Amino acid sequence: QLQLVESGGGLVQAGGSLKLSCAASGRRSFSSFAMGWFRQTPGKEREFVSAISWSGATPRYADSVKGRFTISRDNAKNMVYLQMNSLKPEDTAVYYCAADYRLNQIVSTSQDEYEYWGRGTQVAVSS
């Protein structure tokens, strides 16, 4: 089992920044998982935002956030982060952290590949 808890959401003006954090705990080794961030707005399907391999070597981003968001991880602290800059109102969503048991360098954009999920943290960007 792996428990994930997100934090760092909030209300910010357009053009501002937020840094989301996801703390992992449990019996399974955090460094055996690729980690991803997804987001969801009411009435829409959850969408891929970013993901990173277990080693941190292969970050991947949705086109809509490329150049603005940066994913990182600290395996010693069992943490994954999402630095979000130049935020736009369309970034408003609940952001979820997710874990995919995977020991290669491939990262998946499909939520079906992720076994463990946090409860989410709300990000609201005002115009």
pLDDT tens digits, the chain, 127 residues: what are they? 899 999 999 999 999 999 999 999 999 899 999 999 999 999 999 999 999 999 998 899 999 999 999 999 999 999 999 999 999 999 999 999 999 998 888 899 999 999 999 999 999 999 9
In the prediction, which pLDDT does 52 show?
Answer: 97
In the prediction, which pLDDT does 17 show?
Answer: 98
CB 67 within 8 A of CB 83: no
In the prediction, which pLDDT does 68 show?
Answer: 98
Nearest to 93 by CA among 1, 23, 12: 12
For Cα atoms 9, 99, 122, give the angle at the middle one, nearest 5 degrees: 15
Token readout for 36 is 């991803």
